[in-house]
Chains A and B, each alone.
Chain A
Amino acid sequence: MTEQNYAILPPGVESQAFHNAVQQFRQLLGNENVLVKQEQLVPYMKIMMSVDEAGHAASAVLTATNVEQVQGVVRICNEHKIPVWTVSTGHNFGYGTAAPHHRGQIILDLKKMNKIIEIDPDLCTALVEPGVTYQQLADHIKEKGYKLWVDPPAPSAIVGPVGNTLDRGIGYTPYAEHFMFQCGMEVVLANGKVLRTGMGGVRDSNTWQVFKWGYGPYLDGIFTQSNFGIVTKMGLWLMPQPDVFRPFAVKFRKDEDIKDLVEMFRPLSINGIIPNGVVFAGTLYEASVTVRRSDYTTEKGATSKDVIQRIRDEHNIGAWTAYGALYGTHEQVEVNWRIVIDSIKKLGKGEIITEDHAGNDPAFKYRADLMRGNMTLTEFGLYNWRGGGGSMWFAPLSQAKGSETVKQVELATRILNKHGLDYVGEFILTQRALHHVIDVLFDRTDTEEMSRAHDCFAELLGEFEKNGYGVYRVNTAFMDRVANSFGPVQREVNKTLKRALDPNNILAPGKSGIDLDI
């Protein structure tokens, strides 16, 4: 392929115009930061969704190293009406990974903007660029000797706080709700101007990373899960290292126990006794750390209840395993531990497992790591449960009420099983809400299974919507569909904002269903 003969063009852009744009990008960024060769673009195509890669193939990838370059990219994109899909570390597994929303969009990969600009060990704040990974941040903190923790999501080491927070991701320490612990952003707008949110607009301000709200309308939210700007810096709060960290698990034997365990844990979470993102992991989610489906059956379709029971029995896995942790001074933790133990005793079921009891159990180990903000990649075992590279997170929100979780688990299991797939799910409790996170795993080498997975995902969305449930985040293939769940007025407001902030529709059209062309 000669460069003038681009196989994929941005929608509505002629080959010559694209070529001119590529030349301008080269001048701005240098040749090595403008990728158009096929073998440079393929690594951006591990989409894992139930659709063909071709629909999400980028026409080019750009890497920028500073804010001025990002402004330059936006200028050239505006000039040629080229849509640009931005990623920070780009490992958005189960949501489309690094691939753009639709074919032909160029990707702006900010992995090279990876400076930790500032960490204040007294105020426990950080200001970072988009390419910074959790591993990098943790290493830096260790090197400096600061007594601070980070709060990574499960793919920890390789992903980063900016991308994760902008997609409103979640972790497992007391700082689990990442957007809650974000403070101040720098954003390159579609018109090329640079906005600093919150206190960042005040000249010489030193409160940008300590006070979220600033003055006037609070803007940070509109730059998350959206396409109104390109975030080039983000502030976040770091957790001071507690004197004592005590992780624990509670194993429950029956499917229906989810009801009681949610009722038991909710007040402990709302009252701050258990301050972290508490997990209730279903059997197969838990099993995927050590077990593959093929160890038990190679039959197509959903895994039978008998097989699931055998897995529970042979690997001593609960129907539900709750993971929580206590943090604080020795005295605080002792008092709270007593409260937790008493609550479980009062419930009359649930086997408590402490770090000592757990020994080398890899599932306990990685959960404890996550609740402590350590790096671990153990959860990638999910991809070996069924195999075949298909993974889409179905992630409805639930009230933190036992009856609601039962209803959601039953509904999801019925739909997944009907399509020959498994319920591989967990809940993450943050006081009043539960993120119900289900990994819809399927084999992409099997076109029939892939098409079942697609129908299954659509049905999950549809049936949950009928019951008043919405998802908190979704993969690029279903973004438009999910935007409908949130009603026409929200769509219209988003479109109005898009029109005002990005009239040429160049920033990530399609993100969260926001696109001036539809």
Chain B
Amino acid sequence: MHVTRRSFIKGIALGGFAGVLMARPGRALARAAAGVQSRPVLALVSGAVERSAFLQGIAETVPGEFLRVQRTDHGMGFVRDFNQLLRSGQPTRIIGLVDDASAALIVELARASGARVPWLGYHAASSGHSRHRLLSTESTRGCAMRLGRQLSACGAGFSLSEQRPHHAETSFELAARPHNGAAGDSDRWAAALGFILAAPDAELSAWMPPSVGTRPPLAGNFVSFAIET
């Protein structure tokens, strides 16, 4: 699939998700309470991520009409169209959770186009446990800590390390073992991550990622990013 502006799916149209994500009138209030501003967001996903709680987390804070979701791959078509988008001159906030191969291209293309990358995260998830290695910056300050808190609250086991290579503050690390019976919630990290990347400045303390339900939890390795053109 190619990333032409025309082909962007309005709202979340991947995998028949639209209903789940958009029929949530109560969320607008939550958004308002959290002080979230609505601005257009392009979410890039690959493989199983499009069926994961990641998009659900984003939809908690970005209204459907401001959200475009696009699948990635590492084909020439994607690269050409993504490059065009990066160089189109239109300010865009791009967030994503994708496979390693796509991420290598996306981040490098972003750099080549002169885009800013306030967040880069590497994630590994298996049933009941997840690992997170994060690079953050001034504008995503506190996001790693918020993700850590959400992970703690979910009860699944995790380890998280944040590096802020361009900051005097030292990096921090967090880890926890799974609470009893918490394995079923192990996909919540993806929801929390989606929320945080979509709204890095939002107040999150009272927010709890939605339960994952019956979907199989996200397993494998992923890369998350925020890119600003």
Contact = CB atoms under 8 A, between A and B. Distances in A.
A37 B167 CA distance: 11
10 nearest interchain CB pairs? A387-B221, A43-B111, A38-B137, A39-B116, A57-B165, A383-B100, A380-B101, A39-B118, A445-B131, A38-B166
B117 A43 contact: yes
A1 interface: yes
Contacts, number: 139
Interface in B163-188: 163-168, 171
Contact of A387 (B99, B110, B135, B171): B99
Contact of B107 (A40, A43, A292): A43
A308 B165 CA distance: 39
Contacts of A42: 116-120, 135, 137, 165-166
A235 B132 CA distance: 45
Interface string A44-74: 1110000011100100000000000000000
A91 interface: yes
B45 to A, nearest CB: 15
A399 interface: no
Contact of A8 (B102, B112, B124, B165): B165
Contacts of A106: none
B177 to A, nearest CB: 16
B101 A443 contact: no
A39 B124 contact: no
A389 B98 CA distance: 12
A378 B74 contact: yes
Contacts of B228: 39
Contacts of B166: 1, 7-8, 38, 41-42, 57
B9 to A, nearest CB: 24
Contacts of B126: 298
B142 to A, nearest CB: 14
Interface of B: 74-76, 79, 99-105, 107-112, 115-120, 122-124, 126, 131-133, 135, 137-139, 161, 163-168, 171, 219-221, 223, 228
B163 A387 contact: no
Contacts of A384: 99-101, 221
Contacts of B168: 7
Contacts of A378: 74-75
A444 interface: yes
Interface of A: 1, 7-8, 37-46, 52-54, 57, 89-91, 93, 97-98, 111, 157-158, 292, 294, 298, 375-378, 380-384, 386-389, 443-447
Contact of A52 (B79, B163, B219, B223): B163
Contacts of B116: 37, 39-40, 42-43
A53 B220 contact: no
Given A387-B99, A444-B122, 13 more contacts: A1-B138, A39-B118, A39-B139, A41-B165, A42-B137, A43-B116, A46-B108, A53-B165, A91-B108, A157-B79, A377-B79, A378-B75, A387-B100
Contacts of B100: 383-384, 387-389
Contacts of A389: 100, 103-104, 122, 221, 223
16 contacts: A37-B137, A39-B138, A45-B120, A54-B171, A89-B112, A91-B108, A93-B104, A111-B112, A157-B76, A158-B105, A298-B126, A381-B101, A387-B220, A443-B221, A446-B131, A447-B161
B124 A45 contact: no
Contacts of B133: 444-445
B162 to A, nearest CB: 11
B163 A54 contact: yes
A443 B79 contact: no
A43 B110 contact: yes
Contacts of B120: 42, 45-46
A39 B103 contact: no
Contacts of A39: 116-118, 137-139, 228
B112 A377 contact: no
